[in-house]
Amino acid sequence: MTLKVGDYAKDSGRAPDFGDDDAVILNCTPQNYNFRFQLAKAVSEGRLIGYYTWPFAYGGNGTQDGANCAAALANCPHGPVFWDVEQGSYGGANPVTEGLAFIRAVQAAGRGAHDYIMGSLVAGYDFSSHVQAGAGLWVAQYNAALTVNLGAWSQVGPIGWQWGGTGTAPGGGDASTFFLDRADWAAISVPPGVNPDSGNVTPIGGFMALSDSEQTELLAHARNINNETDALVQRTNDLAEVVENVRKLVYGQADLAAMVQNLTPAQVAAAIPADIAKAVADELAKRLAATP
């Protein structure tokens, strides 16, 4: 059995359309400001969850980065954590030693950690220590068939293959096939030797600790906050337009007759507090009345 997986490591907005993805892998680094929104949506839709990060994303060496990443995910659902080896090579991190330190730090926190590697890099390093530590391989090769030299994973094979680039997954992400079923996904979400159904798994609090009704209520509240935020952004934009119109009026860069149409007390009041709006509107009315 296989799982259809969408990788949304790039900026995919607050609410990507996950389509028929069985699982989604989300960018959990501090640089993804939409992570919590994406996670809430994926959980509410019953998706399997995975997490993507890269070296130095949380600061420090592999051990510190892994510990910080695990701490940041403390209240998130269990799911495999993937470390981007390619980004590590760009950033100067040793893919083998720093990657192994990251994997062990994440495992120490009760989570499964694995490698995400561009196909051409898999056999370029000796990742046998990663395999021995229980890290699986999620390999990226945008071909019609998987033809990568799997290096240290030759005997066990990859757990996942990213075969498509940006836009191939329903919500605009990268498409992958994982050679797993749902039980396997749960198994790679915890360290080797840990039964995901046992009491040995580190309890996950936060959202997943809530009852179904509490989760529904929290998601509704989150959507309301999102709507209120969008409304506030719109009001801010409206205010910016009003300020620009006033600036043009003060410096004589706009036709006064047009300003009468574009700048009314109602428009001003909708963008700023009522008392200030009235004072501005009254002053504008006086100036317009005095204009020949």
CB-based contact 119:86 (threshold 8 Å): no
123 versus 14: the higher-pLDDT residue is 123
Segment 4-18, tens digit of pLDDT: 999 988 766 777 889
- d(C-alpha 291, C-alpha 284), whole Å: 11
The tokens for 144 are 């019609």
pTM across the whole model: 0.68
Q: Please, are residues 267 and 242 in contact by the beta-carbon 8 Å criterion? A: yes
pLDDT at residue 101 greater than cutoff 70: yes
Average pLDDT value for residue range 143-171: 88
Q: Domain map of the chain by residue range?
A: 3-209, 217-289
3-state secondary structure 124-175: CCCCHHHHHCCCCEEEECCCCCCCCCCHHHCCCCCCEEECCCCCCCCCCCEE
How far apart CA 18 and CA 22 sit, in angstroms, is 9
Domain 3-209: which CATH class? alpha beta
**Of 239 and 285, more confident:** 239
Section 53-70 average pLDDT: 86
User: Residue 110 has which token pair?
Assistant: 């009760």
How many CA atoms within 13 Å lie on the side-chain side of 23?
27
